[in-house]
Amino acid sequence: MRKGMLMCLLMLMAAVAVLDVAPARAEYGDVVLNKRSDKEGMRPVIFSHWFHRIRFRCKVCHDELGFKMRAGANDVLMVDIVDGKFCGLCHNGQIAWGTERCDLCHSGRHGLESRIHGGNQSLGPGRW
Amino acid sequence: MRSRRGRRRSRYYLWLLLATLILIARTPVAADMARRWLPLVKDGIHDPKSPALRLLQQPGEALSRLPADVAGSQVNWTAALEQGRINPRTNILPETKIRVLDTDILLNLRGGTPIVRFPHRQHTVWLDCGNCHEQLFKSKAGANKFSMQLILQGEQCGVCHGAVAFPLTQCGRCHNTARDKPLPAAAVRGS
């Protein structure tokens, strides 16, 4: 009987260990932009697809704004954003917060790699 | 009075019951009730010291109100849009033409897995034609050669599915049409 109880306990622990894994870090589709931020002494930018998708359809950024649909394929310069290109079409203080509120976008940990985080659940070889 | 052996046996069953309950709680059926999102401060990419964390919207606060999904961001975004739970803007510039197409395309007609019925409508309410055509896919039905290998590597459908749209573990959502039944008449035959 003691053996049975031990088995049960082991089973319980295995179930917790295997199935109750911590959720994937970052949200699905979160993009880190860090081509220049760290070098310039700013926190990397975190772009959340979920946050934007509630408010805008994909076509707004990927058609009207001209963002290519591959993380890393866009060369987004702060000077262009201030000029109203890329993020700057909305982040101008009218549709969304303006570029003077640096910290709201530059909110990532230092040293993060530029790429999509929290995605790719298929675990393919992946270019994300 | 119960024997010592009987007491031990009942304890054994109690453990078994507990283990089973935990197993059930982790299944996809229960996942609908157990959806959870990490707070930004713990998500591993936000800097916990960033002043933004006091101001930015938390994923759980926004996403828990939307129709559930078992994979990806745990939100069925197509349902959220169709049910009017969200109404994201279609354009910023007033001159932008909003294009929506309502044609289904049947793909993978000669493969072994179920046929893919690709719905243009659910894609074009979110995306513009130019996001897929003519770079990723040619507009002519039958002119594209699809490869699951490429999709898994982030090409073709995999540009979005597996990165920002529902992941490639959801086979049946694309491979959704049985091969042994009459094909839907309204759909166009692709490759």
User: CATH code at B165?
Assistant: 3.90.10.10
B184 pLDDT band, cuts 50/70/90, is confident
Confidence of residue A123 (pLDDT cuts 50, 70, 90): very low
Q: Are residues B54 and B118 in the same domain?
A: no
Integer Cα distance of B37 and B61 in angstroms: 9
Q: pLDDT digit string (tens) for B113-167?
A: 999 999 999 999 999 999 999 999 999 999 999 999 999 888 999 999 989 999 9
Q: In whole angstroms, give the CA distance from residue A121 to residue A80.
A: 34
Minimum Cα–Cα distance from A16: chain B residue: B22
Q: Are A27 and B73 in contact (CB under 8 A)?
A: yes
Strand pairing category for B104-107 and B188-189: parallel
Same domain for B122 and B51, yes or no, is: no
Any chain B CB within 8 A of the CB of A41? no
Q: What is the pLDDT of residues A10-55, one digit of tens each?
A: 765 665 555 444 444 789 999 999 999 999 999 999 999 999 999 9
Residue B57 lies in domain: 38-65
Whether the per-residue pLDDT at A74 is higher than 60: the answer is yes
Q: Which amino acid is at A24?
A: A
B110 and B142 belong to one structural domain:
yes
Mean pLDDT of all residues in A100-124: 83
Task: Report the residue of chain A nearest B54, measured CA to CA.
Answer: A104
Closest CA to B113 of B188, B181, B153, B171: B171
Q: Are B41 and B48 in contact (CB under 8 A)?
A: yes
Q: How far is CA B3 from the centre of its chain?
A: 54
Is the domain of B59 the same as that of B15?
A: no
* Residues with Cβ within 8 Å of residue A27, at least 6 apart in sequence: A48, A49, A50, A118, B37, B38, B43, B59, B73
Contact of A54 with B84, CB cutoff 8 Å: no
Encode B102-168 in three state secondary structure: CCEEEECCCCCCCEEEEEHHHHHCCCCHHHCCCCCCCCCCCCCCCCHHHHHCCCHHHHCECCCECCC
Residue B73 in any domain: the answer is: no
Spacing of C-alpha B128 from chain mean position: 20
Quick one: pLDDT at residue B19? 77
Nearest by CB to A58, from B16, B131, B153: name it. B131
Q: Are residues B109 and B161 in the same domain?
A: yes
Total Cβ atoms within 10 A of residue A27: 26
Is B1's pLDDT higher than 60? no
Question: pLDDT higher for B49 or B27?
Answer: B49
CA distance B35 to B32: 6
Q: Are residues B53 and B1 in the same domain?
A: no
For residue B72, being part of any structural domain is answered with no
Q: Is residue B116 part of a domain?
A: yes
User: What are B57-66's pLDDT values in tens digits?
Assistant: 999 999 999 9
Query: Chain B residue with minimal CA distance to A61?
Result: B91
Q: In this structure, which amino acid lies at residue B39?
A: P
Beta-carbon separation of A108 and B46 below 8 A: yes
Mean confidence (pLDDT) of chain A = 84
Please report the pLDDT score of residue A126 as a whole number: 41
Residue ranges of domains in chain A, CATH in brackets = 30-117 (3.90.10.10)
Whole-number pLDDT of residue B22: 72
CB contact set of A15 (below 8 Å; sequence gap of 6+): B19, B22, B23, B26
Instruction: List A47's β-bridge partners, or say none.
Output: A31
Q: Are B1 and B58 in a shared domain?
A: no
Is B2 in the same domain as B49?
Answer: no
Predicted pLDDT of residue B107? 95
Residue A108 pairs in a beta bridge with: B46
- Per-residue confidence (pLDDT) for residue A22, from 0 to 100: 45
The verdict on residue B82 lying in a domain is no
What are residue A86's phi and psi, to 5 degrees? 45, -130
pLDDT over 80 at B98, yes or no: yes
Residues B60, B123, single domain; the answer is: no
What average pLDDT score do residues B72-97 get? 96
Query: Hey, which bits of A11-53 come out as E strands?
Result: 30-33, 45-48
What number is the average pLDDT over the span B34-38? 85
Domain membership of residue B123 (yes or no) is yes
Same-domain check for residues B185 and B121: yes
Question: Scanning the structure block, which residue is given the tokens 């088995």?
Answer: A7
Q: Quote the percentage of chain A above a pLDDT of 90.
A: 64
Residue B176 lies in a domain: yes
Q: Would you say residue B55 lies in a domain?
A: yes
In a domain, B3, yes or no: yes
What is the percent of chain B where pLDDT is above 70?
93
List of chain A residues whose C-beta atoms are within 8 Å of the C-beta of residue B9: 1
Which of the residues B46, B85, B96, B101 would you substitute to probe the A interface, choosing the one with the greatest number of A C-beta atoms within 10 Å?
B46
Percent of chain A residues past pLDDT 70, beyond the cut:
77
Report chain B residues whose CB lies below 8 A from the CB of A104.
52, 55-56
Residues B60 and B114 in one domain: no
> Per the CB < 8 Å rule, is B169 touching A60?
no
Position A17 scores a pLDDT of: 53
In this prediction, residue A127 carries a pLDDT of: 43
Number of domains in chain B: 3
Q: Are residues B59 and B17 in the same domain?
A: no
Q: Nearest CA of chain B to the CA of A103: how many Å?
A: 6
Nearest-5° angle of CA A57, CA A58, CA A61?
105
Task: Quickly tell me which residue has 């940990």 as its tokens.
Answer: A109
Q: How far apart are CA A2 and CA A4, in angstroms?
A: 5
Cβ under 8 Å to B: A residues 82-101? 89-90, 95
B38 has which bridge partners? none
